[in-house]
Amino acid sequence: MNLLQQFDADQKARLTASRTTPAFQAGDTVRVMVKVVEGERTRTQAYEGVVIARSNKGLHSNFTVRKLSYGEGVERVFPLYSPNVAEITVVRRGKVRRAKLYYLRGRTGKSARIAERTMTRETAAPAAAPAPAAPAEATQG
């Protein structure tokens, strides 16, 4: 591992120690809490939309979120390990068959909707096994 890779790994470990990043992919609806500095104050602002792209490049990983604001499509690229991203929450899982959803840019209304991904038995947590029934006592009589 060269010096640059070692530096990236150290920085990634330092940034992930303070917060956990949920597993999400293109098609998921996420709420990103962004730190906004206004003069002396710092506050968090929510940005909720559909993830249309994700780029995994180690420390430089980023994802693009698209939302509709007053009828206009707005896209924003967030660095995954940015200190300005306070929290990422998955609101809804989407079922898509593409890694990049750039085709959503030209669609509005019903054609821009994404079906919800349902949990299958393999991905869902295993349910507790039912307790075995008590053996019936045999009476002879």
Domains identified in the chain and CATH numbers: 3-102 (2.30.30.790)
Whether the predicted pLDDT of 78 surpasses 80: yes
Residue scoring higher pLDDT (26 or 122): 26
Q: How far is Cα 133 from Cα 5, in angstroms, rounded to an integer?
A: 57
* Number of neighbouring beta carbons within 10 Å of residue 102: 13
pLDDT at 19: 84
DSSP sequence for 48-73: EEEEEEEE--GGG-EEEEEEEETTEE
pLDDT at 134: 60
Instruction: Give yes or no for a contact between 80 and 60, defined as CB atoms under 8 angstroms apart.
Output: no
Three-class SS state of 100 = coil
Element (H, E) at 3: helix 3-18
pLDDT digits (tens, 9 = 90+) for 27-61: 999 999 999 999 999 999 999 999 999 999 888 99
For the entire predicted model, the pTM comes to 0.78
Averaged pLDDT of the chain: 87
pLDDT at 135: 62
pLDDT at 105: 93
Q: How far is Cα 55 from Cα 37, in angstroms, rounded to an integer?
A: 26
